[in-house]
Amino acid sequence: MNPADIVSEILDVYRQRGHRHYGENVTEEQHALQCATLAHESGEPPDIVVSCLLHDYGHLLHDLGEDVADHGVDARHEQVGANRLEPFFAPEVVEPIRLHAESKRYLCWKENTYLDGLSEASRKSLALQGGPMSDAEARAFEHHPHFERAIRVRRYDDRGKVAGMETPGLDAFRHVLESLVVPRS
């Protein structure tokens, strides 16, 4: 598949399933667009913008329902999404996606007020994801090669939950998505 076809397939998933909610005041599509828009407006490089856009892609790939966390299930959406996207994008895009839940756990360990600022849905999923990191987990996480990128994506993830926020549509990000598709032989 060429980059345009790959991106069309990804965006079609958002068009078909992006109307879902996952405990927030915005849909999956709105959340993705808000995160990517905030990153773009902050001058982030294209790979961070794309990671922000696609960080919750895994939520759209399962049929466990919109309220999966309410039933005590961790769908491991970060792994599901990263695994699906890995054949098409470089680690600079995929690893922050894979690590954004771990980043939440880390920030709960690192910053005293971080947990207080989490939405109710993020608190529920945090409990399912293992809660705040231990000292040993946090120290090891700080040495991950994509640690800083993952933390940046997490910050946009936390901010991109504003009901009614105006953003460009999915196609506004098509070009940057296509430019980051890694050619495979």
pLDDT tens series, the chain, 185 aa:
899 999 999 999 999 999 887 667 889 999 999 999 999 999 999 999 999 999 989 888 876 554 544 444 445 677 888 999 999 999 999 999 999 889 999 999 999 899 998 888 788 878 888 889 999 999 999 999 999 999 999 999 999 989 999 999 999 999 999 999 997 75
Predicted confidence at residue 73, as pLDDT, reads 41
Q: Examine residue 149 and state whether it is found in any structural domain, yes or no.
A: yes
Q: For residue 32, is it within any domain? A: yes
Q: Would 54 be classed as within a structural domain?
A: yes
On whether residue 35 sits in a domain, the answer given is yes
| pLDDT at site 133 | 94
Instruction: Give the Cα separation of 139 and 6 in Å (integer).
Output: 37
- Residue 120, domain member (yes or no): yes
Count CA within 13 A, CB hemisphere, residue 105: 23
Q: Residue 86: what pLDDT?
A: 95
Q: Is 19 helix (H, G, I), strand (E, B) or coil?
A: coil
**Terminal CA-CA length for the chain:** 10
Best CA proximity match to 162, nearest among 25, 14, 20, 18? 25
Contact predicate 67/76, CB 8 Å:
no
Does 185 map to a domain?
Answer: no
Q: Which residues have CB under 8 Å from 52's CB, separation 6+?
A: 32, 35, 36, 38, 39, 44, 153, 156, 157, 160
Give the span between the Cα atoms of 157 and 52, in whole angstroms: 7
Q: How many domains does the chain have?
A: 1
pLDDT of residue 77: 72
Q: How many C-beta atoms lie closer than 10 Å to residue 63's C-beta?
A: 6
CATH number at residue 91: 1.10.3210.10
- In a domain, residue 130? The reply is yes
Domain holding 62, by residue range, is 3-180
Tokens representing 105 are 């756990």
Q: What is the pLDDT of residue 16?
A: 93
Please identify which residue in the block is written with the tokens 């936390």: 158
Instruction: Decide: helix, strand or coil at residue 117.
Output: helix
Q: Is residue 82 part of a domain?
A: yes
Contact criterion met (CB below 8 Å) for 82 and 58: yes
Q: Is the dihedral of CA 88, 89, 95, 97 positive or negative?
A: negative
